[in-house]
Chains A and B, each alone.
Chain A
Amino acid sequence: MAKNNHNHHIEDSYDVIVVGSGPAGAMAAKFAAAGGASALAVDRRNEIGSPVRCAEGVPLTAETLESGFGVRFSRNFVAQDIKGSAIISPSGHRREFKTGRVTGFVAERKIFDRHLAMAASVAGAKVMTSTNVVGLAKGRNGNIKGVIIERFGERLDVSAKLVIVADGICSKVGRMAGFYTALNPHDVDSCLQYEMHGVDIDDPELFEVYFGNKLAPRGYAWIFPKGAERANVGIGIAADSKVPASHYLDSFVRSRKDLQEASIVQTQAGLISVGLPLQDMTKDGIMVAGTAARHVDPITGGGILMAMQAGRAAGTVAADAVAEGDFSKGFLDRYNDSQDIKNITASITRNYKMRMAMEHMADEDFDSLIAALPDSFAEINAVGILKLVSRSPKLLKFAKYLL
C-alpha cells in the first residue's frame, strides 16, 4: 500500500505493536524495546494524556518510578506531593492518616503520560499519536499478523509478530480480539470532576475522600490538591444510577462555600471499571494490559500504577517472545503468570470484596468503620481491615463479604 507524506515514517513491520500509549501502553513499549524488540506504540488521541479522565492521584515515589520502571523522575509532572489521606465520614467526622513521608503525588496527567511515552521513545520504541487502530490483520489460519491503522485519513496495514492491547476503558481493539464484551454497568463508576481554583485546602499533602450514601451512592467524592488553592474535585457513583454524576458533584460543590465560589478551570468525565480484572489476558499473538484488562482498584478507582506494572510485565514477556520466536498463547501465558499480574489480581480481588461490603453499608456503618480505623490506616492491609471489621460488633455483619 502506497503511503502519503504523513505516514512514510511508519515501517511496514514491527516485532511488537502496542495499541494505546497511556501508562500501560507506554511501559509495554518501553520494556519491549529495552528487551531488544522493535516496538511501535500508537495512540488515537492527538495529545497523549488528554483528555484527562481521572483524579490524577499517583501512588508512586520518585524511587519506585526510577528503580522499578527505569523512568526518570521530574518535578514537571508533579502538581502536589502527597503524604497521606483524610477520610470524611457521612456525619462529617474527619480522620487524618499521615505517613510522615511522601507516598505519591497528584500528577499533571498530560505531562506525566507524555513523559512515560518519551521514556518508551528513549528506550528505542516508536510512538505515534493521531493513529487509530481500526482492525486486526489476521493470517489465513486466523492468527493475528498485525493491525490496520488509520492516520490522517489513510489506511495502512502494519505487520507485527505480537500485539499488546492497552487502549483503556473502551478497548475497542480488546473487543475485536474477542477478550470480552461490554462492562457490566454495576461494575463501573461514572465519574465527573472539576479542576477548581480557589479551594480552601486544609492540608495540601493529603488526599481528601468523602463517603456517604446521599453524597455519593456506592462511591465517594474527592478533593485531590494541586497546590494550596487548586484541586481536582470529583465524584464517582455506580454507573447504573438513575441520577447522573453531575447532579451529585454539583450538590457537593454547593455544600461548601469555598467550592461554590471557586473557579472551574477544567471539566473532566469518565467511566472506570470497579469490577474484577480479566482472568486470561493472552491469546496467540496478543496480550491485554492496564484499564483495558480492568486493572483498576475497585475501591479507589486508581489504576495508573497497576497499568504501569501490567505494561512492564507485558513488555518484558513480549521481548522474550521475540527473542525466542514464540508468540503462542502458551508462551505469552508467562505474562498471566508474572509476579506483577499476580499482585494486581490479588489486590483487585481483595478490594472488590471490600467494595461489595461497602455497597451494603448504611451511613451509620460508614461512620462506625471510619471511626474504628487505626491511626496507622495508611499502612494497613486487607487482613488488617478484616480484623477491624470482625472486632467491631456493628460491622461484623459485613465480614461475610470479605472472606
Chain B
Amino acid sequence: MAGNPKINTTQASVDGNRCLKCGGCISVCRFNAIDMPHSNIVIDANSCTGCGVCFAACPVSALSATKRAEERAA
C-alpha cells in the first residue's frame, strides 16, 4: 500500500493537550500503529494509514489527520 497517495498522504496525530491517555485508540487500530510505551500515545508513522478509525473512537477527539512529513516537504 505504501506510496498510494489516496490513503497515505495523511496519518494520525495526537494532541497531547487533549489526550487523557486511556489507550482506547490502541484497541481499534487495525495496523498496530499505536502504542503507549511510557504513558504517552505514540503513533508509528510507518504503520499508520490515516484510516481514521481512531479519530472517531477517541472520546475527546484527541486524534486527527495530519499531512505526512514527506507530503509537507513536497
Contacts and interface: CB of A to CB of B under 8 A. Distances in A.
B61 A246 contact: yes
Contacts of A185: 28, 53, 56-57
Contacts of B36: 170
B42 interface: no
Interface residues of A, number: 29
Contact of B26 (A172, A244, A246): A172
B27 A169 contact: yes
Contacts of B24: 169-170, 188, 190, 239, 269-271
Nearest to B20: A269
Interface string B18-61: 00111111111110100111000000000000000100111111
Interface in A234-281: 239-242, 244-246, 267-271, 273
A270 B37 CA distance: 17
Contact of B58 (A172, A244, A267): A244
Given A183-B28, A185-B53, A170 B23 contact: yes
B53 A51 contact: no
A162 interface: no
Given A51-B21, A270-B24, A242 B32 contact: no
Nearest to B29: A182
Contacts of A171: 27
A268 B20 contact: yes
Contacts of B59: 190-192, 244-246, 269-271
Contacts of B20: 51, 267-269
Nearest to A267: B20
B2 to A, nearest CB: 20
A270 B22 contact: yes
Nearest to B21: A51
A170 B53 CA distance: 15
A53 interface: yes
Interface in A285-309: none
A63 B21 CA distance: 35
A33 to B, nearest CB: 28
A363 B32 CA distance: 38
Contacts of B56: 185, 190, 239-242, 244
A5 interface: no
Interface of B: 20-30, 32, 35-37, 53, 56-61
Given A169-B23, A239-B24, A244-B61, 4 more contacts: A51-B22, A182-B29, A244-B56, A269-B24
